[in-house]
Every structure is written in structure tokens, then in C-alpha cells.
Structure 1
Amino acid sequence: MKFAWIDLRTVSAEQREAVVDAAIHARVDAIVDSDPERLATLPNTVKRVLAPGAPAEGADDLIVLREIADLDGLGVLGARHRGGEQDTAALVNVVDDPTLKLACEAARELPYTVVRFKDPTKIPLEIVIAAADSSPGQLICEAADIEEAQIIIDVLEKGSEGVLIAPKNANDVFAVVEMLRTKTPDLDLTKLTVQSIEHLGLGDRVCIDTCTHFEKDEGMLVGSYSHGFVLCVSETHPLPYMPTRPFRINAGALHSYVLGADNRTNYLSELKAGSSVLAVGADGRTRRIVVGRIKLESRPLLGIKAVSEEGVEVNLIVQDDWHVRVLGPGAAVLNTTELKKGDQLLGYVATDKRHVGWPVGEFCVEK
């Protein structure tokens, strides 16, 4: 679980109380301030961190964040930690290679290491994350704003454990906490039994080219109806007449829904470069991925009708070609033109009706 440290030092006096209330309500991990008396008024549900340079007298119940600039400074903090100080914390300003090495050593040795980077490149952060990977300590990276915080948590697909940010207002607090909590949930996939396939003639279909390499058992959930989807597999698997394109899903006709994050659907025709979609594994695991582009072209189309174990009808219209594939139970790769009545597919059945992609509790019939 990622966590946030909220820095109060630059928060305006008018916003301070609201920011503190938001931080406590949102259950941030820690609040940083230079005033030990203000920190002392905070509840024990939040860590209280005294900023570097502030007087540390009487700060026994606080985490004292001390800035270090060399290995001697790290040695002093390391000795404190080995001597029984459980909340030893260091701030390292990474401005060159020696301070980068210092940040790596601190992250390996201390319970808490806050890093601040001079340059906008995230390569130094990648190095520190890798160095601290097996360490029991926690790495916190300072972010200038919400946008940078999002980039930080995605670095090396894992990011730092924590983000230190100075919010402008309470909304910033809730935004960063929600961003850190966001994880696409697993889905309960179901078996679908093919009822029929039908050659439909010419229509427009969409290939989704993503910015991600799919696993062999991954694809996207696509369907003609908002309540039922078939797991369409990527072009990761070899084909006899063309190279593999492990970033691509030959998804379906342009009217089709694709299931995305937050239980929202999009029409395939709506997707564009930069859109967010959901990769889904045969075991139900999911992850958010980004669209690089879509390709909409006229091709012969094939209609697939299937039914779930609960009797829910599902429809998928895809390009009528042998190389278009879907996944079956056990991640079996199935060529759509070879499907026959009784074959089993993997899919997902949703109980929600939808309006502009969002689930709504209304009467709606799709057929």
C-alpha cells in the first residue's frame, strides 16, 4: 500500500486547518511540520514528522527528519538507529552522483529516507528504488504536485513506498490519497457457451494498439452489450503469415463496449491515443494500460452469440478472419472462425445497466 506524507510548511494559514482535517480524515501516513507544538496537537492515528532544521528538544514522540549531505552524516543516523532509535529518518537532496549514492545507502540502512531530486529526470529515482528494493526501510520521494506524484508511483512499475507533497488545499490531500490507493480490482470471470456464429458481411472493426506488452493469457473484455463481455486475446501468440504484435488487440466492431477501470465502459470508436483501458488476465487479474492508437478499418465481420452459466446472453462481433482470437477456460487460445456451438469461452457478466459508460440503476434492454 502506497502512502502520503503531507507537508504543512508552505500551506497558507487560511487553508491549514482544512488541510489537517483532510489529512486526518483521509488517514494519511504522516504530517510534516517545523513546529513541534503544532505536531503535538495531532492525534496518534497519524505519524508526526518534525522537519529538518527545526528545534528537536522535547521531540521524543516525533519522527525527526534530519538532512544529511555525506556518509559521515549517514553514519551518525545509522548509529542512532542501531542504538535503538526506531524512527530515524533522513532527507537527502540528490544533486549529483555522490548524493545519489548517499540516498541509496540511506534507503538501505534507515527506517525512513526522504529523497528530493534537483533534476526532473526520474532515472536517479529508479536507481534508488532498485537499491532499496530488499530493504525493510521506507522510501519517500518528494513531489512538486499531484501530476509528479502520479509519475513517481509508476516508476519501475512500483515507485517509492511514499510520496511527500505540500498541498495547496484539502482537495489536493484527497486527490493524492485516492491516487495512491487506486488499484484495479480482480474480476470474477465466467464460462460462456457458444450458441452460434454468423458471417455478417462488411463493417468497421477496431484494433487497439496499446503502450504495453501483453502477457500470453491477457486480453480485453469486449462485447456488444454493456452487461456481457468476451475476453479477446492479444496478438502475442504466433501467427503463420504475420509477425506477432504483442501490444495489439483485434477487439471488435466499432460499436462494441470495452470494459475499463472504475467499472466504466467505452465504445471502441471513442478510444484514442492516451485513453485508459483495462488489461484482463484469464485468472481475472487486471491492470490499467494506455492506448497508443486505434486502427479502424472496414473488414468482413463475424457475430458470436454465447450464454453464461446463469443464462445471460452475450454477443461479440469481430473481424471475420481466422487469426482473430479469444480466450477459453485455462487460457486456451481459440480462433474465432473455428468456434462452434457448445465451445466454451471466458467472459465477464455485469449486473449494471449503463449511461455514457457509467453504471446506473435504470431499466434498459439490449438485444
Structure 2
Amino acid sequence: MHVIDDETLQTACKIARQEKWAVIYFKDPTKIPLEIVLASADNTDGKIITIVKDIQEAEIVLGVLEKGSHGVMLTPNGIIDARELGQLCRKANNLEVSLEELEVTKISHIGMGERACVDTCSNFAKDEGLLIGSYSQGMILVSSETHPLPYMPTRPFRVNAGAIHSYLVSSVSQTNYLSELSSGHKVLGVNCDGKAREIVVGRMKIEVRPLLSIDAVSQSGIPVNVIVQDDWHVRVLGPGGKVLNVTELKPGDKLLGHTAPSGRHVGLPVKESCLEK
């Protein structure tokens, strides 16, 4: 079906409700007609495939109305387009990161330094945050500011993430330093069950603050560290979604985190000798 005007749009809506498959081309660049078709066919058994011109449009189409077209059809210019489209479609499905319990071993007040808040273009859920760590071999799940505070309103789009040297899990297979993120970068929001989603950074907010070092260890003995702002309103997440104020942590407390093979180059895992301490 080619949607070129209101009449053909209404026909496309009817087809999408009645047929098992509907392959639709939209003449105009606006995604409003696609939204109308998706809404019209909601709660039906039909599948909508949208014809796209390039990978960038495919990414947009797969996210329309938070659920997107069921699929996309692309005429690729080469094998790279086919590979990138496959990666994009896999990414549109549910992402997961393996989480495990970590045990706090040491808390240290270490003085002043620069910490970064990651302000995103999305609101986090109450059991959701970012995986942050000083070492590539392990990160701690730092909570978003979705939980009430006594002296300021919540910032559900923000994670007070940690010191600027820290690693942040930005995709299932890659990390970034907090210091190198900026508006438009993508990071991985992770909840306490390990379910993950791609989130866009709107702004990085870096300021000098007192810092707190949190040392922990995994059940297999992997040391993990995160350095965060030394203030009660900064929180990390524990098993079952428990919200823990960092200034009240003590040895023996349980946190949620992620461990991975040590050693990274430009954010990608690499098998080489690498000592972090």
C-alpha cells in the first residue's frame, strides 16, 4: 500500500486491521501517518511492515509510539546496510545485562573531585539506573533520581553517576568514560532484573563535589569500585530493587552490579593483560 494522501491513509488503516501482513510505503517524511496506522491496528493480529529509505529512518520507524512498526523493509546499498539493519532490529528487541549480588567491603571519604550527572531524554523507572564503575571488570547499578528527596524535587531523567573517570555501560558490549559523554550519546538504562533499554543523553552536568569511594566484591572474588558524590541523596540499588543511600552503606551490605572480563580498548573488551586497582 502506498500512502500518499488522506484517502490512501484510511485505506491503509483498514488493511492493517484486516490483513495478516500489511507492507506500507509513506510518501511524506512525517511519521504522523504511520502513528495513525499503528494506532488504528492496535490490538489486532495484523503485522505492519514499513518501507524505509535508510538505516536512520529504520531506527525511527522501529520506535514510533514506543513500539514501532513490526518490521521494516529496506533496499540496501551494500552488505554493510544489511548488517546494520540486522543489528538495529535485534537492538529493538528486549536487551538484557547479567546482574549479580556484590558485597560492600569498604567505604572511604576521599576528598574533592569532579563528578558527572547524566541527564537523559527519558524518565527512569524507580528500579532503574546506570551501571558505573572505576574498573572495566565490574560496575555498580547507580540509581536514578526518581525517589523522593526532602529538600528538592525529583529529577527522574537524571543519574548522579559518579566521578568523571568512571566507566559507564553504554551498550551490551561497550563502555564509555563519563568524561567523554555529551548531548546525543546513547547509554544503557538497566533495571534490577537486568532488563535494559537504550537511552539518549540530553546533557552532561559536571561539577566539583566531595567524593565517596565504594569498594565491593562479587561472589567469585572480583573487586568492584565506584566513586560517587559524597551525599545522602545519591543512591545505589540492591537486590529486589532496594534503594540504598550511599552515605549509609557499610561493609556487608549487598548491591547489584555487573562483572565482565577485564581489559578494554576504546570501550570494547579485549583479551590482554590489564591490571586495574
TM-score of Structure 1 vs Structure 2, range by shorter chain: over 0.9
In 1: Cα distance, 2:163 partner to 2:266 partner = 18
Question: Which deviations, in whole Å up to 9, do the C-alpha atoms of 1:32-66 show, x marking residues without a partner?
Answer: xxxxxxxxxxxxxxxxxxxxxxxxxxxxxxxxxxx
User: Structure 1 residue runs of 4+, over 6 Å off?
Assistant: none
In structure 2, distance between residues paired with 1:203 and 1:315: 16
Please list, as runs of the form range in 1=range in 2, the aligned pairs for 1:15-164 lying within 5 A after superposition: 91=1, 93-164=2-73
Partner of 1:246: 156
Q: Deviations over 1:239-273 (max 9, x none)?
A: 01111100000000000000121411110001000
Query: C-alpha deviations, 1:299-356, integer Å up to 9, x for none?
Result: 0001111111111111110001110000011101110001111111111111242112
Determine what percentage of the aligned residue pairs are the same residue.
57
Within the candidate set 215, 219, 228, 2:129 is matched to 219
Paired positions, count: 276
Q: Which moved more, 1:199-208 or 1:305-314?
A: 305-314
Specify whether residues 160 and 210 from structure 1 end up closer, same or farther in structure 2 by C-alpha distance, changes over 3 A only. Answer: same
Distance 1:362 1:184, change over 3 A: farther
CA distance in 2, matches of 1:310, 1:191: 10
225, 232, 242: which one pairs with 1:315? 225
- The equivalent residue for 1:195 is 105
Take 2:274 and 2:41, find their aligned partners in 1: how far apart are those partners? 52
Q: Whose relative contact order is higher, 1 or 2, with alpha carbons under 8 Å and at least 6 apart? A: 2
Where do 5+ consecutive residues of structure 1 fail to align? 1-90
Equivalent residue letter for 2:274: C
Q: Which of residues 143, 153, 178 is equivalent to 1:268?
A: 178
SS in 1 for 2:139: strand
Are the equivalent residues in 1 in contact too, given 2:97–2:172 (CA < 8 A)?
Answer: no
Alignment of 1:164-203 (within 5 A): 164-182=73-91, 183=93, 185-203=95-113
Q: Greater Rg, structure 1 or structure 2?
A: 1
* Matching of residue 349 in structure 1 with residue 262 in structure 2: no
Q: How far did 1:184 drift?
A: 5.9
Residues 1:281 and 2:191 are matched in the alignment: yes
Please say if residues 103 and 251 of structure 2, whose CA atoms lie closer than 8 Å, have aligned partners that are also in contact: yes
Bigger proportion of residues as helix = 1
Matches of 1:308 and 1:178 in 2, distance apart?
31
Residues 105 and 210 of structure 1: CA distance in aligned 2, closer, same or farther (over 3 Å): same
**Do the aligned partners of 2:189 and 2:199 also contact (CA within 8 Å) in 1?**
yes
Match of 1:256 in 2: 166
Q: What's the TM-score once normalised by structure 1's chain length?
A: 0.73
Deviates more, 1:351-360 or 1:169-178: 169-178
Q: Deviations over 1:45-89 (max 9, x none)?
A: xxxxxxxxxxxxxxxxxxxxxxxxxxxxxxxxxxxxxxxxxxxxx
- The answer to whether the aligner puts 1:205 opposite 2:115 as a matched pair is yes
| RMSD over aligned Cα atoms | 1.3
Q: Which amino acid aligns with 1:267?
A: Y
Give the aligned partner of residue 365 of structure 1. 275
| Secondary structure, counterpart of 1:283 in structure 2 | coil
TM value normalised by structure 2: 0.96
CA deviations over 1:207-247 (Å, ceiling 9, x no partner): 00011110000001101000011100000111011111000
Aligned residue number for residue 243 of structure 2:
333
Cα deviation for residue 140 of structure 1 reads 1.2
CA distance in 1, matches of 2:113, 2:171: 28
